[in-house]
Structure 1
Amino acid sequence: MPTREMPIEPKMMSTHQSERPRSEFKFYLTTIFLTLWIILSEGFSSAALGVTHSADADQMTAALPESLVQIAPDDHAILVEKSTQTLSVYGLVNKTPVLKFQARCSTGEVAGPKFEAGDKKTPIGVYFITDAYEDRYLTPIYGKKAFPLDYPNFLDRKMGKNGSAIWLHGTNKALRPMDSNGCVALENNNILALSEFVSLNLTPVIVDEQIKTAPPSELKENQEGITAVIGQWLSAHTQGTYHDYLSFYDAAYLPDISWWTAWDNTRKDLQAKDTQIRVMADRIGIYKQGGTWVCLFDYCVESRGDRQEMGQKKLFLERLPSKKYTIVGDVFQTHAQGVQKNPHPLVGAVSRLGLFLETDDYFIEFVQRWLAAWSAKDMETYASFYDASFVSEGMGKTRWVNRKKNLSKRYKYIKLKAKDFKISKSAEKCTVHFYQEYKSSGFSTEGTKTLVLHKKGETWKIFQESWKEK
């Protein structure tokens, strides 16, 4: 398990522990809350066991949590309502959010949204589960499983909020309402049941004081409006100007745009080659809390039927009085492996697609120049075609070139011909097969030569060489 600071342990008072002094107001408030807790516990007797709910006609047409504008395909959404200490899980049935699981939970012992480390409050907002820990990696107080959340998120930091280590986890104590130091605690059987609904960096956890509902028509309006904005924003990557792209962002928020010049140059090069590309969003999830919508999606680029992931992009949007949606936050949730981040993953992803690959004629000409250097006994030029890490027949570059030098001195002439080229290439590697006829003053042979080339910066070098005599 990676070393990291564990979250503050939730405070679970046992029945034999003495209560610290409380004000008369807090005494009555706690009495009322515990009464409500008992009533709710009876109502959750089946749901807390992880009973799956089916989609009936009422659920498909009734008001839904306004947070669930669009659940990503094949995923779920977790809602935590602090006022009732309830955790609910929704999934999609016929593209409609349906309650799948419900259980009691315990949030921070101090009411209100979290603002700073140590305030014993549970944050309010849309968060995503970033990791999962089994009980063998946890101290008993965290129960059988734990899921870290990505608090503080972009908007939290923008508002000056701090703190860390806010988790969803189990417990080895009796579960009591509002009894943690900020985490969301569940009974062990329920944290284990919750596991089947969790996908890392995809499943949202939406925390609010009260989960509000909205008619399906309102959710559809939000979904269509935000999806349209995302589509236009994506199109601006390939078809818009710098100013077109920035027009989707709020006037009070300037995203990092230092990469645009490099991307614009890439776009121009692609246009010169008449190469079409498309920037896409896939598996879009849209979740609302308060006046903010959080959109998470797979950020990709596609061309010639090939697709390259850039990572998971997260946009924060708000709605202006004009009803226009505007982006107030733009971050990556994750980055795709192997894609260069600088100056921007979009530039790196296009590079990995191999859209700027040299033609087959380029590599044929490369081989002809290499053969010409060998035939002319120009050993300095000949050696320049090889990579420093070249290996063939157990020899590195230096030994290989020295061997060729000795042969060049032995023969009066060397003549080579190449034909029947077969070339396979990617963005950083090219394999060239061809039929070679070799004739010198002392030796003649013919057969199949194979060169494996690697791209080093802007040039190609021979990395491996093999020969199969006819």
Structure 2
Amino acid sequence: MRLLPYLFSFCLCFSISIVPAFAGWQAVVPEEAGKLPMLVAVDKSRQSAQFFGQKASELSSQKVPCSSGQVKGDKQREGDRKTPEGIYFVEKRRTSGLDYALYGQEAYTLNYPNPVDKLREKNGHGIWIHGRGTPIVPRETKGCIALNNPDIADLYTKVTVNTPVILAEQVVPYFRSESEFNELKEKTFQWVAAWQDRSPEYLQMFSPEAFTKSMKKPFSSFKQQKERLFSRLPWIITWTNNVNVLQGPDYWVTWFDQYYHAPNLVTQGVRRLYWQKNSDGEFVIVGMEWKERKIGIEKAYLDAVAASVHNFLDTWVTDWKNGTVDKYISRYAIKAVQGSHRGVNAIANHKRKLWQQKKPAKIVLSDIKMSMSRRGLEVTMNQYYEDSTGYSDQGTKTLVLLPKDGQWVIVIEEWRS
């Protein structure tokens, strides 16, 4: 009987020994992090910063000591001397106007508070990753992350604007991604597609209440603004590249390069969407951030759509050469303009009359070039045409294309011999 109390005491002591002295957010680094240019992960319990991604191998060390806030726990208020916990992003690199004793020679500013922090009514500002005038000691900052000067100097060119940063009590590296990663990537693409289609689904993917709190703007105003634009604009092109996902404490972030082109505006930059699950277990957008930057994404967009445009041209030429009016006209928008003919009915009637007398015999396109304009995606090419009577001509054909229901349609067709 004496053995039972002994076992009970042993088990109790063992269970107590494995409980962390302070329970905070335990972050996991997904396997996909290795595909990022760089990810910074700070483990406050170990007072260390670890680096993941393609550029991490260029560093002198992929794990270095750091110093976090003097008070343990997740930052809640200005002046509480705590380091926040969550997913953050580098906003800019500072090298001038710094107090050397506090910040060393350089610093990377972070986007604290992010939209979810604002949703949770956290406040404060000025959370940086910075150097130090003297060798660092554990937990000596007012909430920032301090690195020794040689270590932060090593980050130059590897850590850039929009580099993701995990700040957590504990960090578990290279955890197998869960199904939520793929689900959120798919939802991000759905959101972008709904935006391009000017669909009501775009606004239905937000949480109005959470958006209002996190963005400090009534969702009703945001909704009215978007609905006005959707009704006024004849078309919108949106495209994303490099969609990434990270899990924060009870929220997720997707971020990506975004290209937006409409008749009234052309922008490119980085979009961040912050997601939480609603009472039905569905992911909804609770906040977002937009950082306009010239990242050369228009060229990337044109490269990405080149194959689909060439496939469209092949199909269009085939339908034209076969003289099948119904298939040929299906490649045009309802209000398309072809020379003096306006609308698909006028274009179809013209082609029926023409092809009854002179059937297309040979069509060759060459030197195909694509560019973006205020009219849409412009495709310019050399065109050789020959009909069944032996008549031929050669000149420059310009097609203005727009996406519709996942396909291209011609909105304007111009010919110059």
1:91 aligns with 2:49: no
Q: Identify the residue that residue 172 of structure 1 maps to in structure 2.
A: 133
CA contact (8 A) 2:69 2:144 kept: yes
Residues 125, 206 of structure 1: 8 Å contact kept: yes
Equivalents in 1 of 2:128, 2:147: separation in Å? 11
> Paired residue for 1:245?
202
Misfit runs of 4+, over 6 Å? 359-362
Cα deviation 1:396-424 (Å, max 9, x = unaligned): xxxxxxxxxxxxxxxxxxxxxxxxxxxxx
2:67 match: 106
Aligned-residue CA RMSD (Å): 3.6
Asked whether the equivalents of residues 69 and 143 of structure 2 are also in contact (C-alpha less than 8 Å), the reply is yes
Q: Does residue 76 of structure 2 align to residue 115 of structure 1? A: yes
Q: Supply the distance in 2 between the matched residues of 1:247 and 1:222 (Cα, whole angstroms).
A: 19
Is residue 196 from structure 1 mapped to residue 157 from structure 2 by the alignment? yes
Cα deviation for residue 150 of structure 1 reads 1.2
What SS does the aligned partner of 2:239 have? strand
Q: Does 2:243 align with 1:279?
A: no
* Aligned match of 1:319: 277
**Which amino acid is the alignment partner of residue 111 of structure 1?**
K
Deviation sequence 1:33-84 (CA, Å, 0-9, x none):
9xxxxxxxxxxxxxxxxxxxxxxxxxxxxxx962447449662110011111
Residues 346-377 of structure 1, C-alpha deviation per residue, up to 9 Å, x if partnerless? Answer: xxxxxxxxxxxxx9999xxxxxxxxxxxxxxx
2:98, 2:105 within 8 Å by CA — same for their partners in 1? no
The alignment status of 1:206 with 2:166, answered yes or no, reads yes
Could you tell me how far apart the structure 2 residues matched to 1:294 and 1:99 are? Answer: 29
CA contact (8 A) 1:151 1:166 kept: yes
Instruction: Report % sequence identity.
Output: 25
**Unaligned stretches of 5+ in structure 1?**
1-32, 34-63, 271-276, 338-358, 363-424, 429-470
**Residue 324 to residue 212, structure 1, CA distance change in 2 (3 Å):** farther
Per the alignment, residue 115 of structure 2 pairs with 154
Query: For residue 250 of structure 1, what is the amino acid of its counterpart?
Result: S
Q: Output the amino acid matched with 2:43.
A: E
User: TM-score with structure 1 length normalisation?
Assistant: 0.50
2:90 to 122, 129, 141: 129
- Asked whether the 8 Å contact 2:85–2:249 carries over to 1, the reply is no
Kept in 2: contact 1:69–1:288 (CA 8 A): no
Seen in structure 2, the aligned counterparts of structure 1 residues 253 and 120 have a Cα distance that, compared at 3 Å, is closer
Q: Distance in 1 between matches of 2:61 and 2:223?
A: 42
Residue 28 of structure 2 is aligned to residue 66 of structure 1: yes
Does 1:259 find its partner at 2:225? yes
Q: CA deviation at 1:197?
A: 2.0
In structure 2, relative to structure 1, the CA distance for the partners of 1:149 and 1:175 (3 Å cut) is same
| Change beyond 3 A, Cα 1:285–1:153 | same
Contact 1:72 1:285 in 2 (8 A): no
1:146-185 alpha-carbon deviations (Å, 9 max, x no partner): 1111111111122111111111111112311111111100
Structure-2 residue corresponding to 1:76: 38
Q: 1-side partners of 2:338 and 2:34: how far apart?
A: 42
Per-residue deviation, 1:426: 5.8
Aligned twin of 2:192? 234
Offset of residue 92 of structure 1: 3.9
| Distance in 2 separating the partners of 1:336 and 1:328 | 23
| SS class of match (1:257) | helix
Q: Distance in 2 between matches of 1:73 and 1:266?
A: 40
Pairs within 5 Å for 1:394-433: 427=374
CA 1:111–1:215 in structure 2 vs 1: closer, same or farther (change >3 Å)?
closer
Question: Which residue in 2 is equivalent to 1:298?
Answer: 257
Report the AA paired with residue 79 of structure 1: A
Q: Which residue of 1 aligns with 2:359?
A: none
> What is the distance in 2 between the residues matched to 1:142 and 1:99?
21
- 2:296 aligned with 1:335: no
Q: State the Cα deviation string for residues 104-134 of structure 1 (Å, max 9, x = none).
A: 0000010001111111111111111111122
For residue 224 of structure 1, give the secondary structure of its aligned residue in structure 2: helix
Map 1:441-460 → 2, pairs under 5 A: none
Offset at 1:239? 2.9
Distance 2:119 2:132 in 1: 32
What CA distance in whole angstroms lies between the structure 2 residues aligned with 1:253 and 1:141?
37
Work out whether residues 91 and 100 of structure 1, in 8 Å CA contact, stay in contact via their aligned partners in 2. Answer: no
CA contact 1:71–1:286 (8 Å) conserved in 2: no
Please list the CA deviations of residues 278-332 of structure 1 after superposition, one character each: whole Å capped at 9, or x if unmatched. Answer: 42221222111222111121221369xxx95443211111235755322121232
Which moved further from structure 2: 281-290 or 181-190? Answer: 281-290
CA-CA distance at 1:247 after TM superposition:
2.4
1:127 is aligned with what amino acid? Answer: Y
Q: Find the aligned partners of 1:336 and 1:245 in 2 and give their Cα distance.
A: 23
The normalised TM-score by structure 2 is 0.56
Tell me if structure 2 keeps the 8 A contact 1:114–1:161: yes
**Once the two structures are superposed, what CA deviation does each residue of 1:191-217 show, in whole Å capped at 9, x if it has no partner?**
1112232111x2011101111356425
Paired residue type of 2:109: P
Q: Quick one: distance in 2 between partners of 1:207 and 1:134? A: 23
Note if contact 1:69-1:223 (Cα within 8 Å) is conserved in structure 2: no
Query: Counterpart of 1:139?
Result: 100
Residue 159 to residue 427, structure 1, CA distance change in 2 (3 Å): same
